[in-house]
Amino acid sequence: MRDPIPERIAQLEREVALRDRQLEAVAQLAGQLSSVTMLAETIQEALVTSLRLVDADAGSIILLDPEKEKLVFRYVIGDAAESLTGMEIDVDQGIAGAVFHAGKTRISEDMAKEQDHDRELGERIHYTTQNMVTVPLKRYGSECIGVMQVLNTTDGHFDDNDVATLDILGAQVASAIDSARLQEEARLAQVVKFIGDISHDVKNMITPVQTSAETLVFIGEDVFTQFDEILAAAECPESCKQQISDTIGELRDLMPEMVDLMLDGSAAVQQRMAEISAAVKGIVSEPHFEMADIVEASQRAVGLLAHSADKAGISVTVEPVGQIPEFPMDKKQIYNAVYNLVFNAMDACDEGASITVRILAQPDGEFPDGGYCQVDCVDTGSGMPEHVREKLFTPHAVSTKPMGTGLGTQIIKNVVDAHDGAIWVESEDGVGTTISFKIALDREISASSQGQSPTA
C-alpha cells in the first residue's frame, strides 16, 4: 500500500508553488500599474504584463461602452492589432460576449470546437486563433466591465497555473482600470471647474465690449442724423458740404462693419470657451443635422481668420472641387472643425506659406468608399514630427505651440466622430501637412429640420 503522506506533501508543494506564482504575478502587475494613472496607459500596461506572465504572444482588452451598449477592443497586441483596435462588437457576440455575460473564465483549447467562436471576424482580419483564455474583468462582487483575451501561448497549451494566474489578474486589471477611471474623472472635474471659472471671467470681460458696441450703434445713428440736419442747414458752398460729407462718410460706412466685428469676435470668444470646455470633457454637444452648404460654412470659418493670416503673410483659400451638394450636417460643428484646422495650420506656417481648404464630393457609392464629402486642409508649413503625428487625434495629443493644449485637434476629432466620419493626417518635415476628413452625404434628419435654410 502506498504511503499517502508523501503524495499529500507533494500535492501541497504544488499548491504552494502555484500560490507563489499567483502572488508573484499579482505583485508584478501591481508594481507595473502603481505608477500608471492614465486609463489608456493602464489598459496597455495590464495587457502587456499579463501576456508576459503566461508566455502568450497575442491578446486583447475589450471593454464595455455603456452608451453604445457595445464591447470595444480598447487595446490589442499581436498581428491583428491594427485591424481590431477600436472595433465594436455586440455584447452577446462571440466568446467575448458569452464570458462578459456569464462572468466566468473560459478556456478554449481547440477553437474548431467552439460553437460561438466568431470565425467570420477571424477571417475578416486574417488572423487564426489556436487557443485562448477569456477572462472577465470584474472586481470581486462587482459587475463585469469587459473581458481580457489571451491567445496562442507559445507552448500550445494553457495549463492550470496559467488559467489560475489569469483569473487573479483579471480582478487586478479591473481594479486598476476602475482606479484609473476615477482618477481621470477627478482630474477632469478639476479642469472643468477651472475652465468654468475662466469662462465666467471671460464673459465678465466681454460684456462691456458687447454693450459698448451696441450702444455705439444707437449713438452713431443719432449723431449721423443730427449731422445730416446741421449740414443741410449750413450756409456754405456745396463743394464744402460735399467735402465734409465725404469725410464723415468714411466713418459712417466703416462703423457698422467695425461694430459687427466687435460683436462677432465677442461671440466667437464665448463660443470658443464653450468648445474648449466640451473638448476637455471629451465630448461635443449632440449634433443637429440639417441640409447645409459645407463650402459656405468653410468660407465663413476662413473669413474669420483672414485678417490674422494677412498680417502673418499667409495665403488662405477655400477651393471647392467640382459640384458640392448640400447635405445633412451640423453646420456649426463643421464650421468649428474647419476653423480649428486652419487655425492650427497657421501656427505651423511662416510668412509666404499657403493653406488650402480643398472640398470635394463623391456622391456615387456607399460610405466610406463613396457617398462622401471630403475636406483636406493642405498647408506648406514646417510639417509635423512623428511623435506629434502619432498622437494627433488621441486624448494624448501634443501641441507644438509654447502654450498649446492640443484641444483644437480634439475638437476636430469630436466633430468628425459626431458625424460618424473618418479623419487622417499626412505630413513631412519641412514640406507641409495635410489633414483630411470625410463624412457621409446621406443621413436621416429629423422632420423639424426638413426645409430649413442653412443660416449663419
Which residues, at least 6 apart from 312, have a Cβ–Cβ distance to it below 8 Å? 346, 349, 351
Whether residue 456 is contained in a domain is answered as no
Output the nine-digit C-alpha cell for 166: 489569469
Mean of pLDDT values over 57-80: 85
Same domain, 124 and 59: yes
CA 204 to chain centre: 30
Same domain, 179 and 55: yes
Same domain, 175 and 216: no
CA distance 14 to 186: 44
Whether residue 454 is contained in a domain is answered as no
CA distance 154 to 160: 15
Q: Where are the alpha helices (DSSP H) in 55-159?
A: 81-84, 94-102, 119-125
Same domain, 136 and 234: no
Question: Per this entry, what is the length of the chain?
Answer: 456
Per-residue pLDDT at 273: 73
> Phi then psi for 109, rounded to 5 degrees?
-80, -30
Domain containing 121 equals 4-187
CA distance 386 to 433: 12
Map residue 74 onto helix, strand or coil: strand
Same domain, 237 and 171: no
* Predicted confidence (pLDDT) per residue in 200-258, tens digit: 777 788 888 888 888 888 888 888 888 888 888 888 888 888 888 888 887 888 888 88
Whether residue 423 is contained in a domain is answered as yes
CA-based torsion, 106, 138, 60, 154: positive or negative: negative
Kindly state the greatest CA–CA separation across the chain: 138
CATH code of the domain containing 433: 3.30.565.10
Whether residue 136 is contained in a domain is answered as yes
Contact 261, 308 (CB under 8 A): no
Work out how many domains the chain is built from and give that number. Answer: 3
Mean of pLDDT values over 303-318: 88
Q: What is the DSSP annotation of 214-275?
A: HHHHHHHHHHHHHHHHHHHH--S-HHHHHHHHHHHHHHHHHHHHHHHHHHHHHHHHHHHHHH
Whether residue 336 is contained in a domain is answered as yes
Per-residue pLDDT at 451: 41
Q: 315: closest CA among 348, 345, 342, 352?
A: 352
For cell 477569456, name the residue.
134
> Phi then psi for 103, rounded to 5 degrees?
70, 20
Q: How confident is the model at residue 93 (pLDDT cuts 50, 70, 90)?
A: confident
Per-residue pLDDT at 66: 84
Q: How confident is the model at residue 453 (pLDDT cuts 50, 70, 90)?
A: very low
End-of-domain residue from the set 281, 310, 341: 281
Instruction: Give percent above pLDDT 90 in the chain.
Output: 18
Same domain, 176 and 231: no
Q: Which residues pair with 423 in a beta bridge?
A: 437
Whether residue 261 is contained in a domain is answered as yes
End-of-domain residue from the set 281, 299, 325: 281
Per-residue pLDDT at 277: 65
Same domain, 319 and 200: no
Q: What is the mean pLDDT of the chain?
A: 78
The model carries a pTM of: 0.49
Give the 3-state secondary structure of 360-401.
EEECCCCCCCCCEEEEEEEECCCCCCHHHHHCCCCCCCCCCC
* Predicted confidence (pLDDT) per residue in 334-382, tens digit: 988 898 899 889 988 999 999 999 999 999 998 888 999 999 999 999 8
Contact 118, 98 (CB under 8 A): no
CATH code of the domain containing 34: 3.30.450.40
End-of-domain residue from the set 187, 213, 231: 187
Cα-based angle 45, 47, 50 (whole degrees, multiple of 5): 105
Q: How confident is the model at residue 407 (pLDDT cuts 50, 70, 90)?
A: low
Same domain, 272 and 361: no
Amino acid, res. 344: N
Same domain, 345 and 232: no
Q: How confident is the model at residue 169 (pLDDT cuts 50, 70, 90)?
A: confident
Same domain, 399 and 379: yes
Same domain, 232 and 276: yes
Give the N- to C-terminal CA distance of the chain in Å, as an integer: 94
CA distance 416 to 374: 11
Whether residue 440 is contained in a domain is answered as yes
Same domain, 161 and 234: no
Contact 356, 317 (CB under 8 A): yes
Whether residue 432 is contained in a domain is answered as yes
The 10 Å Cβ neighbour count of residue 315 is 13
Per-residue pLDDT at 450: 45
Q: Where are the beta strands (DSSP E) in 87-219?
A: 88-90, 106-108, 132-137, 146-153
